Amino acid sequence: MDIDAWLWWLIGAAVLGIALVITAMPELGMLAVGAVAAAVVSGIFGGGAVLQVVVFAVVSTALIAVVRPIAKRQRAQRPQHATGVDALKGKQAVVLERVDGSGGRIKLAGEVWSARALDSGRVFEAGQEVDVVEIEGATAIVM
């Protein structure tokens, strides 16, 4: 049984795609796209083995050279919107129960939180507004 070259390229692309999923290395996906391009050159255009290898190398290299730096820049950027407890830092809260260095309760973003004063000598009485400086576990640090 004689298997055409384009089918070998597609098998190679599938193997690279599986390896991409297993290892999470995006370069393997770019190599898989290069293998698909070589399969197209072989199957549709009838290109020879040398042309297939050249197309595979050029497409794979071009994708790695162009996509990798863009992905690296995107990964290095911090998210524009804070989420989770990071979004609560800097918010104002209302004291529900006296807050001092050992504890208390505040209402923050519509929820009741345990809190303690950043400065252990400082005391905040019920009704006062405070600023959230930090979140440690389930406790808001306020000032």
pLDDT tens sequence across 21-54: 999 999 999 999 999 999 999 999 888 999 999 9
* Confidence bin at 85 (pLDDT 50/70/90): confident
At 117 the pLDDT is 93
- pLDDT value at position 78? 72
Confidence of residue 10 (pLDDT cuts 50, 70, 90): very high
- Structure token pair of residue 139: 């406790």
